Homo-oligomer: A and B are copies of this chain.
Amino acid sequence: MVVEVKHDHTEEVKNYLEANREEDIARLLEELHSSDIGRLLMSLEDEEAMRVFKLLSPEQASAVLLEVDERLRKALISSITSEELIEVVHEMETDDAADVISELPVEDAKQVLEGIDRHEAIAVQKLLVYPEDTAGGKMQAELVSVHETATIEETIEEVRKKAEEIENISNVFVVDRDGRLVGSVSLDKLILARPKTRIIEITNREALHVTTDMDQEEVAKLFQKYDLISMPVVDHEGRLVGRITIDDVVDVLEEEIFEDFYKMAGLHTEARALDPPLRAIRMRVPWLFLNLATALVAASVVKLFEGAIAQLVLLAVLMPIVAGMGGNAATQTITVVVRALALGEINFKNARGVLLKEVLVGFCNGFLTGGTAGFIAYLLGANPIVGLLLFLAMIANMMIAGLIGTIMPLVLKRFNFDPAISSSIFVTASTDVGGFFTFLGLATIFMKMGLL
């Protein structure tokens, strides 16, 4: 297999298509991994992608369909006959087949389910019942299981039977006569045992398992925590119904981290760069209205000090610096805190230390940048008292940034909210309010003292 980390065949394929040299494309496709073919199709125009897709074997086509995005998948599926689609779905593992079928219009889905092998159809239909983001939704029905009374010899025979259709067999699962999970045996243990031994003697009865309704995030965390490669899934009666493999979990882990940062940015977790405009608007505008509400609060603080600004317009020029620097410092704090919460590095024991540290860091960074800002303002001709004002307000606001940036996610977590949720909106609102209030408030005091 040729690894194509960087090489891009788009131009080559476009030229072949223009010259109708399909046989050259077919030769190229044979050498590529489905993942690279998927990327290639996504870089072509839809009609070009369809022409290339038609050149794939059903086996290749089934793998490639899983590598392209939902929009292109629909286009490619619509370009083949329902007989071809049935053949392609037949090549898929049950979990992937269920995902693809769930995207089809009801009529087409029915037709495909009727077309494929009956056993497979039943397995797929069972999977369609589970919500996509649960263990049931992530599991596949393909697995090797044997009864607890089987011998090693019989177990190996079972592996042999299944090896053609199942990829990545790393464990054999052992069940009792009601189909309930007893434990699992890894292949290396199986290789080393004597043929006549009973499987139950080498079964790990304490193998981890999950139930179908466990949230995918929890499943992923178990895989990560215990360095697992595959895990059996059982129903509420403890019966073995499927297995989850690490490759499905890697994507979930990635998804969950992205979600944290999405929430911080005030984004619906399902928002994507390629969403159509209406969907993008619908997903973003609620957060923007929330942001508008907080911006109005910040504006009302400025309104309190209209008198000071009327007296010295320079205050209006400099106040965004105080607010903006606080916002940035708060974003830094909240990003490290949300990460540490996600990884379990912060708990309520060490939170106080983190809080004190963040406020101290805010003071020091405010001292350094505020000092610079004040000095620059003075150099540019401002009254030195204005420079002092800028210096003091920036120190105060960056301490506020450290305080709120640490407390906000901790409080959200304490009350069982997601610590990341729209935290950047709330935190920058706090630093806007804090920045305007300290800067304009101090200015008013200085004015009353006759210093300004």
Contacts and interface: CB of A to CB of B under 8 A. Distances in A.
Interface of A: 1, 3, 5, 33, 35, 39, 42-43, 69, 156, 159-160, 163, 168-170, 187-192, 206-208, 218, 221-227, 229, 246-247, 250-251, 253-254, 257-258, 261-262, 264-267, 271-277, 280-281, 284-285, 287-289, 291-292, 295-296, 298-299, 302-303, 306, 309-310, 313-321, 323-325, 327-329, 331-332, 335-337, 339-340, 344-347, 349-350, 354, 357-358, 360-361, 364-365, 368-369, 372-373, 376, 424-425, 428, 432, 436
Q: Which residue, of A275, A302, A340, has the highest number of chain B Cβ atoms within 10 A?
A: A302
A313 to B, nearest CB: 5
A266 B365 CA distance: 14
B321 A361 contact: no
Q: How many copies does the complex hold?
A: 2
B284 A332 contact: yes
Nearest to A292: B369
Contacts of A320: 295, 298-299, 302, 319-320, 323, 432, 436
Given A265-B335, A345-B274, A5 B218 contact: yes
Contact of A229 (B218, B229, B376): B229
A353 to B, nearest CB: 8
A328 B425 contact: yes
What DSSP secondary structure best describes chain A's contact surface? Answer: helix
A324 B360 CA distance: 27
A431 to B, nearest CB: 11
A291 B325 contact: yes
A237 to B, nearest CB: 19
Contacts of A316: 302, 306, 309, 313, 315-316, 319
A247 B221 CA distance: 12
Nearest to A361: B280
A218 B302 CA distance: 50
